[in-house]
């Protein structure tokens, strides 16, 4: 079964300013960003105790960045090569840093273990997008 | 198969400041808000032409409100009866207005037809949450 | 000196779907929401220690809601009476609850004292908007 | 007169994980991001007509990215060198692209002219931050 987001994305495949763009890869990246925003929002909200402030703040940053990245992929007419690449790079960099930080507390806070895994999956989805976009999108 | 968001929500069922809270209903509402944010983001981004400005702006408002509502349901320790009720009421009211506006253009813009349907589902999910919360949450 | 936001708002005063709308009051409310988003973001990010989780989560909710409310006031063509009223009511309700919670910790966490004051100012700005809108905007 | 955001930022200067960090430069960047989010939100909401879809979508992306960047600078404990640098790079890149696009329509849509200028100021503020951070923040 296809969800409404995938259905709407496919309706606008023709509007994408990218010749060889892999739409199913972009849909995977949208879903990875959405899952990462949700996991980081919950992880930040349920942490407590001493020494958790860096992890909480990194998760809050991650949730905001993932939401921004997700929305950017849902606006075909606004896609511009350098901007997309830089935003994907930022999302990926933050995902790796957040996953590393969450991993440190995975034994104390179960959410951190799940969150770290979701962050790593999001980093991979962003990396795949960047790889596929090299050469696929006109340089504006 | 359960997604990571549902898994994390269930881990925190015990932290919810609500006696008779129906967790699966809240998970449905989180998913409805997420779907509505995505549909409205795409709908606003792909509309064009004269006379569409109200619809676009209402969809942009809707996307922001749904994201806020979704995140509020993911922060168990921050749940406060009056705040949750007022935010659900705002989300529901905006969903109905946005669905009505999108319906007007459903024949010109296919996205609007899908978006209207997703908005109506989100309005219903918010209404169910409000109904279930009456009496279930201590008044802060 | 007028900032760019005020300058742009005044350019669109004519587009506002509200006869007797007080534009300077709306600009005050936009600024109050922006200040409240910023104070709550910092307050949530700098809190730590036991027993602060409710306050942190309420501040995170508040930051998201204030951003949504601020953006809604910046989209003239999307203004619809019931939606604006319900969103202002939600913002005001959340501001009062967040101010009350922050006040409890104002002696332990200096940010909470400032944040509580900014929340109360935002609640008042929303109340003024609601009062001025009663009768001013056509019922969609 | 100092606003509450500046006041709270100064209270947390000691928490910043950055030896030679220039706090007034960061406050300038926070204000530039806030102004850019607001200008882009209004610009996207008030554009209409044929051929404006790229500009609108780029402004919507810009508003979301600026909000994320602003919040990241308000969370001292979450600052991590690579993440901050990558997010500043993304914000700057998007600001330049958005300013270029808005400039194309500045004669048709007055908001675009103002928005382009605010985007350029934000790009400069991000560049200054990146310059000052090189060497100032420990590599996590």
- Cα–Cα distance for residue pair C67/D9, rounded to 1 Å: 19
- Cα–Cα distance for residue pair D60/D44, rounded to 1 Å: 6
Residues lower than pLDDT 70 in chain C: 1-2, 17-21, 135-140
ipTM of the complex: 0.92
Which residue in D60, D61, D75 is closest to A57 by CB distance?
D75
* Structure confidence by residue, pLDDT tens digits, B35-70: 999 999 999 999 877 789 999 999 999 999 999 999
Percent of chain B with pLDDT over 90: 69
- Mutating which of A36, A79, A88, A93 best tests the D interface, going by the most D Cβ atoms within 10 A? A93
pLDDT-based confidence at B135, cuts 50/70/90?
low
Per-chain mean pLDDT for chain A? 90
Q: Return the pLDDT at D1.
A: 41
Residue B20 has pLDDT above 70, yes or no: no
Question: What is this structure's pTM?
Answer: 0.94
Longest alpha-carbon distance in chain D: 51
Q: In terms of CA atoms, which chain A residue is nearest residue D75?
A: A57
- Cα–Cα distance for residue pair D118/C7, rounded to 1 Å: 12
* Structure confidence by residue, pLDDT tens digits, C110-127: 999 999 999 999 999 999
**Token output for A137:** 């999108």
DSSP H/E element including D128: helix D110-133
Q: In chain B, what residues touch A3 (CB-CB under 8 Å)?
A: 35
* SS3 assignment, position C100: helix
- Cα–Cα distance for residue pair C56/B44, rounded to 1 Å: 32
Mean of pLDDT values over A65-77 = 97
Mean of pLDDT values over A108-114 = 91
Residue D20 has pLDDT above 70, yes or no: no
Residue A74 has pLDDT above 70, yes or no: yes
Q: Return the pLDDT at D118.
A: 98
- Cα–Cα distance for residue pair A11/A9, rounded to 1 Å: 5
Q: In terms of CA atoms, which chain C residue is nearest residue A57?
A: C45
- Give the CB-side neighbour count of residue D62, counting CA atoms within 13 A: 40
Q: Return the pLDDT at B34.
A: 98
- Cα–Cα distance for residue pair A89/B9, rounded to 1 Å: 30
Q: Return the pLDDT at B1.
A: 41
CA dihedral D43, D49, D54, D59 (to 10 degrees): 10
Residue D15: CB atoms within 10 Å: 13
Q: A–C: how many Cβ contacts below 8 A?
A: 21
Residues 6+ apart with CB under 8 A from D106: D112, D113, D116
* Structure confidence by residue, pLDDT tens digits, A3-50: 888 888 888 887 776 555 678 899 999 999 999 999 999 999 998 777
- Mutating which of B46, B50, B51, B56 best tests the D interface, going by the most D Cβ atoms within 10 A? B56
- Cα–Cα distance for residue pair C27/C76, rounded to 1 Å: 13
**Token output for B71:** 């995140």
Greater pLDDT, A105 or C72: C72
Per-chain mean pLDDT for chain B? 90
Q: Would residue C49 be called left, alpha or beta, if left means φ above 0 and alpha means ψ between -120 and 50 degrees? A: left
CA dihedral A89, A90, A91, A94 (to 10 degrees): 120
Q: Return the pLDDT at D136.
A: 58
Mean of pLDDT values over D116-124 = 98
What DSSP line would sit under D47-107, residue for residue? Answer: --STT-HHHHHHHHHHHHHHHHHHHHHT-GGG--HHHHHHHHHHHHHHHHHHHHHHHHTTT
- Whether B49 and D52 lie within 8 Å, measured CB to CB: no
**Token output for A14:** 């023709």
**Token output for A112:** 């951190």
Residues 6+ apart with CB under 8 A from C102: C43, C55, C58, C59, C112, C113, C115, C116, C119
* Closest among D84, D92, D87 to D16, alpha carbons compared: D84
- Whether D34 and C39 lie within 8 Å, measured CB to CB: no
**Token output for C129:** 């908007």
pLDDT-based confidence at D19, cuts 50/70/90?
low
Mean of pLDDT values over D31-55 = 93
- Whether B60 and D49 lie within 8 Å, measured CB to CB: no
- Whether C8 and D77 lie within 8 Å, measured CB to CB: no
Percent of chain D with pLDDT over 70: 91
Mean of pLDDT values over A63-75 = 98
Residue D138 has pLDDT above 70, yes or no: no
**Token output for B31:** 């998913």
Residue C13: CB atoms within 10 Å: 12
* Structure confidence by residue, pLDDT tens digits, D69-109: 999 999 999 999 999 999 999 999 999 999 999 999 999 88
Do residues D34 and D15 lie in contact, with contact meaning Cβ atoms separated by under 8 Å?
Answer: no
Do residues A128 and A25 lie in contact, with contact meaning Cβ atoms separated by under 8 Å?
Answer: yes
Residue C91: CB atoms within 10 Å: 33
* Distance, first Cα to last Cα, chain A: 35
Q: Return the pLDDT at B108.
A: 86
- Whether A57 and C48 lie within 8 Å, measured CB to CB: no
């Amino acid at each position: 079964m296809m969800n409404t987001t995938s259905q709407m994305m496919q309706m606008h495949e023709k509007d994408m300013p990218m010749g060889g763009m892999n739409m199913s890869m972009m849909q995977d990246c949208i879903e990875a960003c959405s899952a990462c925003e949700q996991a980081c929002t919950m992880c930040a909200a349920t942490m407590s105790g001493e020494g958790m402030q860096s992890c909480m703040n990194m998760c809050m940053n991650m949730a905001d960045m993932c939401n921004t990245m997700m929305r950017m992929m849902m606006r075909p007419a606004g896609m511009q090569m350098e901007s997309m690449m830089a935003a994907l790079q930022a999302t990926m960099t933050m995902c790796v840093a957040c996953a590393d930080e969450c991993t440190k507390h995975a034994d104390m806070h179960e959410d951190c273990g799940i969150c770290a895994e979701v962050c790593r999956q999001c980093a991979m989805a962003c990396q795949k997008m960047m790889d596929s976009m090299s050469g696929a999108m006109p340089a504006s």
